[in-house]
Amino acid sequence: MLAREPSPTATWRRPQIAADQWGQAAGSRPVGPTLDTPLQRLPKISAERLAGMRRLGLVTVRDLLWHFPRRHEDQRLRVPVGRLRPGERATVEVEVLSVHLRRARQRRMELVEGEVGDETGSLGVIWFNQPHLARILHPGRRVTLHGQAARHQGQRLQMRNPEVQLERREGVQVSVGGLVPIYPETARLTSRWLRAKVGELLPLVALAEETLPEEVRRREGLLPLGEALRQVHFPESQARLDAARARFGFEELFYPQLAALLARRQRLARAGTRSPYDVEVARAFTRALPFRLTDDQRRAAHEILIDLDRPSPMNRLLQGDVGSGKTVVAAMAARMAIAAGHQVVLMAPTEILARQHLETMRELLSPFEIYPRLLVGSTGARQRREILGGLLAGTDKLVVGTHALIEDEVRFPQLGLCIVDEQHRFGVAQRLRLREKVDLNPDFLSMTATPIPRSLNLTLYGDLDVSQIRTLPPGRVPVRTELVEAAGRDAAYQLIRSEVGAGRQGFIICPLIDDSPGAEARSATAEYERLTKEVFQDLRLVLVHGRLPAREKAERMEAFATHQYDLLVATSVVEVGVDVPNATVMAIEDAGRFGLAQLHQFRGRVGRGAQPAHCLLFVGEEDPAATARLRALIEHSDGFELAEIDLRLRGAGDPYGLRQHGFPEMRVGDLLDDPLRERARAAAEEVLKADPELTDPILRRGIRDYRVVFEFD
């Protein structure tokens, strides 16, 4: 398609607010809105639009101005009417030749119809239910239109509902003809309306306090805040848009790096609860094991024991793939801390996982007369009082539990080591409450079976030291993973039946607990009923999901683990903490609805014994993005490789729950941009070198939102 070069008039004219627009006299003190004014106090915003903005998290003027476009549509190139092609979206500068308003007979709809043209030809236009256009469009008026041209009744070209920009005037928001912002939208809240409202309020960015020190901006070549806000919404050029996004992207990576470095510096300056590295204690522990530690386990254990021996508190993350043996390493750390006279607490996100850890810890530590206690929500009142008394007296040295460990009445006077499994499944405040149980600074060990890409590690856990267990213990059998389409369902069921017939067990995972209106995914409850009555009538099935009472859930899981049932139908409640070596089949319904990391966790529930294992991925309607994830799962068995693939496939928006970690929303920053992240970290190091106490008020405001995430003073 031929097009004219962008003309000087194709750039955006910045919206301006007249001095008296908010009911103030020119030259007087402003009495209009500020950045903190609630949007509901602004004029001419309907209740429906306010509700839409709340759904997007927009409550104040500041929220709206920081609601960045997800992309910009380039409408700068003008196309002569005579060169329009059917099906193409284009921008035309035309004169209104005719216009009239009529009501459609068949529907209650008002139509504005007309004809526009330039020196190369004419074009039909029609707008539906926009009668106001008939009042402002009249023959002879110049307008800019943007839309898709199509043949009307197989003959002349017509644009239906094109966007309209009248002749530009100061104070009027431009909606067509430049780099047009396209915003995240919701019902009754279109980009067109958001453009107008943002443009109307944009001059208020002059009230915003700068969020980066001038020295940092100068050294990094970044735009000032006000200019960056203007350009990110209504850019003068692609280069200015890129500069605005670069400024915000840098800032969103800079402050977490700065907060993490500050937290690390402060932690290393504090006195911790030192547990001396007793080599004989470590050797006795390894001699008592019924297996040999892998090299990765030995390396990770050594790193942790060195940290326990330091005068400052440990803050370490132990990453290991499903079944890699992280709990053994944690047990060795617990043994060393208890030998030094400290108490140890291990907190898990679910009662199932807590009970699994209890059994493992009991098996590994009972040779040393260390007997862990279990404190969970379903613990009886009498046993609970006994455990609380033992902890307070210091006679109980190791307790395993769930959120029940952070309740007010639980006290650990000699707490020296906190171990938190799957810490990303706890809220930030919950983890902090565990640390606040004592006046001391206990060592802290986080564990996760969800491998995290290095790019995210440096952001999410920038204040932690990281140990990795990448190899699996010998004896783990590979799991054969395959897609099961509708035509292969009967064969898959036959495979499950044959495995059960050979004395083994299996899981069937569903994305929902109950059927939901409008949802096409299978639910665990309905699938359990169907399989019991129609498919596996002669087998023993049990149902487990998150809404069951904790005790009943634990009882059913225990019954399955002891082979009282053949098949477990469940939701994602079995993602972690279920160890049934006799299970050899994992069938996942609507597999495309799960994330790649979660699917890998499910797969890790089988193949824990000596028999070959299978992971069956049932799929419904074809979804290219989901299929790419599933193909990756079939081709790769290494969780760390899959984590990197998952990040690339899904993007860095929020695949690992940044907000759950306590992070502010990242609007522009790209966690996959390694050079930008390294640049931000280097800048943070320079800042701390020049200002170790971080006295700059701009910097202190900037890291405020990360205070809880990284736990600094």
pLDDT bracket for residue 233 (50, 70, 90): very high
> Cβ(75)–Cβ(180) under 8 Å?
yes
Do 1-32+77-177 and 279-469 have matching folds? Answer: no
For every residue of 26-39, DSSP letters joined together read: TTSPP-S--TTSBG
pLDDT at 458: 64
Q: Over pLDDT 90: what percentage of the chain?
A: 43
Q: Which residues of 47-74 are buried (b: 16+ CB within 10 A; e: fewer)?
A: eebbebbeebebebbbbbbbbbbeebbe
Q: For the chain, what percentages of helix, strand and coil (3-state, to nearest 5) are there? A: 40, 20, 40
CA of 60: how far to CAs of 36, 56, 455, in Å? 6, 12, 33
Pairing of strands 163-166, 142-151: antiparallel
636 pLDDT exceeds 50? yes
Average pLDDT, stretch 377-382? 89
pLDDT at 551: 80
Higher pLDDT, 66 or 645: 66
pLDDT bracket for residue 580 (50, 70, 90): confident
Average pLDDT, stretch 493-506? 95
Higher pLDDT, 572 or 252: 252
Average pLDDT, stretch 587-616? 87
23 pLDDT exceeds 70? no
Q: Over pLDDT 70: what percentage of the chain?
A: 84
Strands (E), 141-237: 142-151, 157-160, 163-166, 179-182
Q: List the single range of 87-91, 312-316, 506-510 with lowest mean pLDDT.
A: 87-91
pLDDT at 240: 94
pLDDT in tens, 386-411: 999 999 998 999 999 998 998 888 98
308 pLDDT exceeds 90? yes
pLDDT at 560: 92
Q: List the single range of 364-373, 420-429, 587-596 with lowest mean pLDDT.
A: 420-429
> Cβ(612)–Cβ(480) under 8 Å?
yes
Question: Class for domain 1-32+77-177, per CATH?
Answer: mainly beta
652 pLDDT exceeds 70? no
pLDDT at 104: 78
The whole-angstrom separation of Cα 91 and Cα 176 is 8
pLDDT in tens, 322-343: 778 899 999 999 999 999 999 9
Q: How high does pLDDT run on average in the chain?
A: 84
The whole-angstrom separation of Cα 588 and Cα 619 is 9
The structure tokens listed for 713 are: 């003073």
267 pLDDT exceeds 70? yes
Q: Which residues contact 397 (CB under 8 A, 6 or more apart)?
A: 338, 342, 343, 344, 370
pLDDT bracket for residue 24 (50, 70, 90): very low
Q: Give, as one character, the DSSP assignment of residue 437.
A: T
Q: Give, as one character, the DSSP assignment of residue 532.
A: I
End-to-end CA, the chain? 60
Pairing of strands 89-103, 315-320: unpaired
Tell me which H or E stretch contains 288: helix 279-288
pLDDT bracket for residue 7 (50, 70, 90): very low
The whole-angstrom separation of Cα 647 and Cα 640 is 11
655 pLDDT exceeds 60? no
415 pLDDT exceeds 60? yes
Average pLDDT, stretch 546-573? 88
**SS3 readout for 43-80:** CCCCHHHHHHHHHCCCCEHHHHHCCCCCEEEECCCECC
279-469 maps to CATH 3.40.50.300: yes
Record the pTM: 0.71
pLDDT at 663: 63
106 pLDDT exceeds 70? no
The whole-angstrom separation of Cα 707 and Cα 343 is 27
Domain ranges of the chain: 1-32+77-177, 279-469, 479-636
Higher pLDDT, 192 or 306: 306
Give 111: exposed, middle or buried? Use CB within 10 Å, 0-12, 13-18, 19+: middle
459 pLDDT exceeds 70? no
pLDDT at 377: 87
Average pLDDT, stretch 651-673? 61
pLDDT at 713: 63
pLDDT bracket for residue 465 (50, 70, 90): confident
517 pLDDT exceeds 70? no
141 pLDDT exceeds 70? yes
**Helical H segments across 565-671, by residue range:** 596-603, 624-635, 639-650
pLDDT at 169: 45
Q: List the single range of 38-47, 621-630, 683-692 with lowest mean pLDDT.
A: 621-630
pLDDT at 310: 94
pLDDT bracket for residue 644 (50, 70, 90): confident
| Residue whose structure tokens are 């109950």 | 514
Most confident of 163-167, 655-659, 679-683: 679-683
pLDDT bracket for residue 215 (50, 70, 90): very high
| Domain 479-636 homologous superfamily, CATH | P-loop containing nucleotide triphosphate hydrolases (3.40.50.300)
